[in-house]
Amino acid sequence: MSAAPTVAAVVVTFDRRELLAEALTALGAQTRPPDRIVVVDNASRDGTAAMVRDRFPGVELRELPRNVGGAGGFGAGMALALDSDLLWLLDDDTVPEPGALRALLDARDRAAGGPPTLVASRVVWTDGRDHPMNTPRAKPRASAAETEAARAAGCVPIRSASFVSVLVDAAAVRERGLPVADYFLWNDDFEFTTRLLRGRRGLLCPASVAVHKTRAFGGTETDPGDRFFYEVRNKIWLFTGSRGLAPPERVLYAGSTARRWARTFAASEDRAVLRRALVRGVRQGLFTRPRPTEALLREVGVEPPGPYRSSR
């Protein structure tokens, strides 16, 4: 029999000390605990690093000299953990239920045709409702055979997932690259998972449940204010430069993005802020390109793994 795969949980945090403590406690309480836990602290100012050292001495803590956002943080964490077989990616406000990791691994083992590249948890809010911010996108035009194979494992085929409890194959990351760190926040997980899954299989496992403790219940179209800049710039970068989407998919997702932006403007209480963010995002999205991830990681003291294929 082959040895069980090693699992590294990768958690990125910034100024959410108590939520992180709850998340790390939940990781330690898993019925099948991860083999290692890597926490990337994005230069928190609230004593996060001291809390981790004091209360969770078994955690591998990497303190970055500046905040490089979720995209840079996950890029750094994955680079540090790529010698594991599987990477379990979680935000610092993600609290997995005790059987979450075991369910992901079981689904991976049961999947017909061999293990999928990615298995995502069902993500709920604090009241148990499915969280609209983290609903994986179903795979368009999945074949009947693929749908049936996923159903046999208690899952459904997906095309993308979020960094809120998703188990990915480290070998696929080494082949197809880390997240694009220069995204900073928003769309980094969409770009990364679509790139990882292009031509490959991903599953949503409803038996694996994680609670995403955001302040409010809502999707990405909830009034974002100035942060709308990242949504616009990064979507343009994604549609014009990422290898994650085939040309027909670009058309499909560009249409859904336009509808989401329209809903965002309709619901906003300060559309002038959104308009300024939109103009700035369009300008930078069209006339700049993201920096190479490996260059940004070296700036914060993390050496990209080798052999390694750039995410660009």
124 neighbors 55 (Cβ within 8 angstroms): no
More confident residue, 214 or 274: 274
Name every residue whose Cβ is closer than 8 Å to that of residue 235 and which is 6 or more positions away in sequence.
187, 257, 285
pLDDT band, very low/low/confident/very high, at 256 (cuts 50, 70, 90): confident
Would you state the pLDDT for residue 287?
96
Residues 233 and 125 in one domain: no
User: Residue range 235-264: average pLDDT?
Assistant: 91
Residues 162 and 282 in one domain: no
pLDDT tens column, 206-239: 999 999 998 877 665 566 888 999 999 999 999 9
Residues 117 and 55 in one domain: yes
The last residue of one of the domains, among 164, 186, 216, is 216
Four-point Cα dihedral 205, 211, 212, 213, nearest 10: 180
Q: Give the total residue count for the chain.
A: 312
> 121: domain CATH number?
3.90.550.60
The pair of structure tokens assigned to 208 is 């694996």
Would you state the pLDDT for residue 219?
60
Cis peptide before 140 (omega within 30 of 0): no
Tell me what the pLDDT averaged over the chain comes to. 91
pLDDT band, very low/low/confident/very high, at 307 (cuts 50, 70, 90): low
Residues 43 and 152 in one domain: yes
User: Residue range 272-284: average pLDDT?
Assistant: 94
In a domain, 301, yes or no: no
The yes-or-no verdict on residue 132 having pLDDT over 80 is no
Q: What is the DSSP string of 203-224?
A: EEEEEEEEEE--SS---TTS--
Tell me the residue range of the domain where 190 lies: 7-216
pLDDT tens column, 82-124: 999 999 999 999 999 999 999 999 999 998 888 999 999 999 9
Residues 104 and 210 in one domain: yes
The last residue of one of the domains, among 189, 216, 243, is 216
Taking the C-alpha atoms of residue 72 and residue 65, their distance in angstroms, rounded to an integer, is 12
Would you state the pLDDT for residue 1?
45
In a domain, 302, yes or no: no
The yes-or-no verdict on residue 14 having pLDDT over 60 is yes
Residues 36 and 135 in one domain: yes
Task: Name the domain count of the chain.
Answer: 2
Taking the C-alpha atoms of residue 106 and residue 119, their distance in angstroms, rounded to an integer, is 10
For 41-55, 172-186, 267-281, which range has the lowest pLDDT when averaged over its residues? 267-281
More confident residue, 222 or 10: 10
